[in-house]
């Protein structure tokens, strides 16, 4: 049986992926900051697979290494890493951007992803096998108005996805990205700092992707034979043509 570590498993795409993996019989290490949600998920998914939870802030470098290096023997072999934790903070013209928001996006979406990956690389290299999936975004393929620093963080994920694939190639480790378009999760709640009306309006007038749609694709990606690596995949709602063209009625 394989084991997957999923960051940002308490909500949205990460949570849906945890559910999809449990149905696939993949054991789980679930990460996030909201302990209660991790506990609930563990209770539910333990009916199907072995589940271990790690509660920490991905920005905390020491905590990342302490938690990953302290995994119990049963969970110490990690076959699949889903680098999913992340959010947008704010949607402002760059000249009006909030520096704390910039720090949050770069510290979580880029540096946090790097810390987690750095803690797990040695395990996968020792095993001579492993699969890393980086959750990028359409925002990492095309910049949109006011997206500036969030887009930069996702362009960085795109670059890191390519860099990891090149440097880990000789170790037999698969690396690929899944880049979603508009997906209805808690993403916009976080971006707009709890303004639920504003968050809801992002997904009004068209059928956005559901987190389960992305989870199903991630499940497909990790269940391909070893010699098949889906390196970079972009998925949008049918109503979305690019970052700025959405068919709303
Ligand atoms: P959610 O807000 O629903 O989920 C974000 C997850 O990230 C939560 O589980 C949260 O857990 C975790 N997280 C955030 N900050 C931290 C932190 N500092 N330390 C640890 N965990 C953290 O959003 P999504 O599911 O939509 O987002 C998941 C990924 O998908 C992100 O990388 C996002 O950029 C990407 N994405 C989303 C799209 C969308 O339209 N929704 C489209 C394209 C990409 P907790 O708060 O418990 O720590
Ligand atoms: C999330 C998609 O377009 O809201 O990465 O930035 S978008």
Rg (CA), the chain: 17
Q: Which atom of ligand 2 is nearest to the CA of 182?
A: 2
Q: Which residues are catalytic?
A: 150
pLDDT of 93 reads 98
Q: Which long-range contacts (CB under 8 A, 24 or more apart) does 29-35 make?
A: 29/3, 29/4, 29/5, 29/53, 29/54, 29/71, 29/75, 29/78, 30/6, 30/54, 31/5, 31/6, 31/7, 31/55, 31/56, 31/58, 31/67, 31/85, 31/116, 32/7, 32/8, 32/85, 33/57, 34/10
Q: How far apart are CA 63 and CA 46, in angstroms?
A: 25
Tell me the pLDDT tens digit for each residue of 196-222: 999 999 999 999 999 999 999 999 999
Position 249 confidence tier, pLDDT thresholds 50, 70, 90: confident
CATH of the domain at 162: 3.40.50.720
Three-state DSSP class for residue 99: helix
Tell me the pLDDT tens digit for each residue of 112-152: 999 999 999 999 999 999 999 999 999 999 999 999 999 99
Ligand 1 pocket residue status of 134, Cβ below 6 Å: no
CA 170–ligand 1 middle distance (angstroms): 31
Ligand of minimum distance to the alpha carbon of 39: 1
Locus of tokens 């704010």? 90
Identify the CA nearest to 117 among candidates 129, 134, 101.
Answer: 134
Instruction: Say how many domains are in the chain.
Output: 1
Q: Going by CA atoms, what residue is nearest to atom 39 of ligand 1? A: 183
Tell me the pLDDT tens digit for each residue of 145-194: 999 999 999 999 999 999 999 999 999 999 999 999 999 999 999 999 99
pLDDT of 16 reads 99
Which ipTM value was assigned to this complex? 0.99
Tell me the residue range of the domain where 157 lies: 3-246
Tell me the pLDDT tens digit for each residue of 215-228: 999 999 999 999 99
Ligand of minimum distance to the alpha carbon of 190: 1
pLDDT of 113 reads 99
Q: How far apart are CA 2 and CA 46, in angstroms?
A: 15
* Predicted model pTM: 0.99
């Amino acid at each position: 049986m394989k084991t997957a570590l999923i960051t940002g498993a308490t909500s949205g795409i990460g949570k849906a992926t945890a559910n999809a993996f449990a149905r696939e019989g993949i054991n789980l290490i679930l990460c996030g900051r909201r302990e209660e949600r991790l506990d609930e998920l563990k209770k539910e998914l333990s009916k199907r697979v072995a589940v271990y939870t790690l509660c920490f802030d991905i920005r905390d470098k020491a905590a990342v290494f302490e938690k990953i290096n302290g995994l119990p023997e049963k969970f110490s072999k990690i076959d699949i890493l889903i680098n999913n934790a992340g959010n947008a903070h704010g949607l402002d013209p760059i000249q009006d951007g909030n520096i704390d928001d910039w720090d949050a996006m770069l510290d979580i979406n880029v540096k946090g992803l790097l810390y987690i990956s750095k803690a797990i690389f040695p395990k996968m290299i020792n095993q001579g096998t492993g699969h890393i999936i980086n959750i990028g975004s359409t925002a990492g393929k095309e910049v949109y108005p006011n997206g500036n620093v969030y887009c930069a963080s996702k362009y960085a994920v795109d670059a890191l996805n390519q860099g990891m694939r090149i440097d880990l190639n000789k170790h037999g480790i698969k690396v690929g990205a899944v880049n979603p378009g508009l997906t209805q999760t808690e993403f916009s709640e976080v971006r707009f700092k709890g303004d639920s009306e504003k968050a809801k309006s992002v997904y009004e007038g068209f059928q956005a992707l559901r987190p389960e749609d992305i989870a199903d694709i991630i499940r497909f990606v990790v269940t391909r034979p070893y010699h098949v690596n889906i390196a970079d995949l972009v998925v949008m709602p049918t109503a979305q043509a690019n970052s700025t063209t959405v068919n709303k009625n």
